Amino acid sequence: MDYQSPNASEAMAEKPKKKWPLVKIFVTLILTILVFSGGVAVGRGDINFKGLSLSRGASTTTKLDYGSVDYLYSLLKADFDGSLNDQDLLDGVKGGLVAATDDPYTVYFNPEEAKIFNEELTGTFTGIGAELGTNSDNNIVIVAPLSGYPAEKAGLKPNDIIMAINGETTVGMRVDKAVQKIRGPADTTVKLTILRDRDKPFDVSITRQQITIASVESSIDGVIGYLKISQFTNDTLKLTKEAIADFKTKNVKAIMLDLRGNPGGYLKGAVDISSLWLDKGQMVVSQRRDGRVVSTEYAVGGNSLKGLPTVVLINGGSASASEITAGALRDNGVAQVVGEKSFGKGSVQQVQNLPDGGELKVTIARWYTPKGSNIDKLGITPDVTIGLSDEDQKAGRDPQKDRAIEILRSKIQ
């Protein structure tokens, strides 16, 4: 929004001793917003609903003094030339307070935003079919375009920077706000301004559609079973077990687990899927806070794929829960990892339901693989690094998948 300050002398003329000039009010407002809004850009991240309670120590006061906020509110009520909505102001205070953590994955959702957030986790929503996040510069980026949906068909790629949405800059915009602006009724169009690899920005117009994600796809190539997990949702384990049952009846001797473009989802999904290869009690991932282990997740049993040669495919769109799974299987010696370095989203968020229907998603720890590798901002580096170019995709080639097949066939023989 544009602000236009009046001449200072005119602002002071009516009540020179009781009323601040709007210039000064505006400056005060900006300073307060800066205090509350130090961070921007919120991604979804992996979600832990276990209610893990962690204490960092008495590094902050036990209670904040909101007197300055009340004072600022009184100034707004007295001097703002326009209408004020109390609920919008409260949401702004809550959002700014949370954003001041300067953590891109800690965010306050008002009730409407909470509904959108939870729709994503169910796998059904209306949009372009792309997971959004932030990079190290707090730019809003494409984490992964979902296979077969408008974002992928429009040519969007992991790490593409979204500079503007329908002409509105994304500088300072949180990811949840960007998601709201990109969402819209099916068959309508949204224009994104994209920056890729420091080339000249370009515009892409994308038609929205209903997005329904089947979290698991499977097929069989000879004696190799192919599992494609697009994200970790409530039905992922069930669908994977159904695919495995089919593999067993058809004498599958090796597994290719494709986690490319998988932006993550539920922590429990990563643990359950990893458990299909691991013995009960083997470590899947640890959570550390301030350098100390605060929680560890272990395989839960039911390892129906134990002993089968396995290759895990990853790329720059593999994030969070998919990185946990790849790291767990490799570190426990049950799989090789092939493809490109993963996204590097290695923090765990806990969701707290709020009385008004809103939600707080807060980062409570960082992920580490069983061998102690930090995932956050570093990602998983494949055992075998091999790219997948635009030319490959246009020609229908998949060198990453081909290399995985070669590895699995050599192990079978």
Q: What are phi and psi of 315, to 5 degrees?
A: -150, -170
Nearest to 263 by CA among 202, 213, 335, 336: 213
Catalytic residue among 147, 230, 318, 320: 320
Select the highest-mean-pLDDT range: 60-64, 165-169, 343-347: 165-169
- Picking from 107, 141, 168, the residue at the C-terminal end of a domain is 107
Counting residues of the chain whose pLDDT is more than 70, the rounded percentage is 84
pLDDT of residue 174: 81
Is the pLDDT at 385 greater than 80? The verdict is yes
Residues 157 and 225 in one domain: no
- Picking from 75, 107, 139, the residue at the C-terminal end of a domain is 107
DSSP string, 303-355: -TTTTS-EEEEE-TT--THHHHHHHHHHHTTS-EEEES------EEEEEEE-T
pLDDT of residue 120: 63
Catalytic residue among 94, 228, 268, 345: 345
Nearest to 195 by CA among 232, 174, 170, 219: 170
Summarize pLDDT for 58-108 with one digit per residue, the tens.
455 667 788 888 888 889 888 888 888 888 888 888 888 888 888 878 888
Residues 298 and 394 in one domain: yes
Nearest to 365 by CA among 108, 144, 103, 136: 103
Q: How far is CA 160 from the centre of its chain?
A: 14
Asked whether the beta carbons of 292 and 336 are under 8 A apart, the reply is no
Catalytic residue among 331, 342, 376, 401: 331
Residues 316 and 204 in one domain: no
Respond yes or no: is residue 160 known to be catalytic.
no
CA 92/CA 79 separation, integer angstroms? 19
Residues 336 and 196 in one domain: no
Respond yes or no: is residue 320 known to be catalytic.
yes
Kindly state the tokens that stand for 1.
């929004």
213 or 363: whose pLDDT is higher?
Answer: 363
Respond yes or no: is residue 15 known to be catalytic.
no
pLDDT category of residue 219 using cuts at 50, 70 and 90? very high
113 assigned to some structural domain: no
Residues 41 and 96 in one domain: yes
Residues 260 and 304 in one domain: yes
Residues 203 and 220 in one domain: no
- Give me the helix-helix angle, 86-99 and 22-36, nearest 10°: 50
Can you give the residue range of the structural domain that contains 227? 214-348+365-412
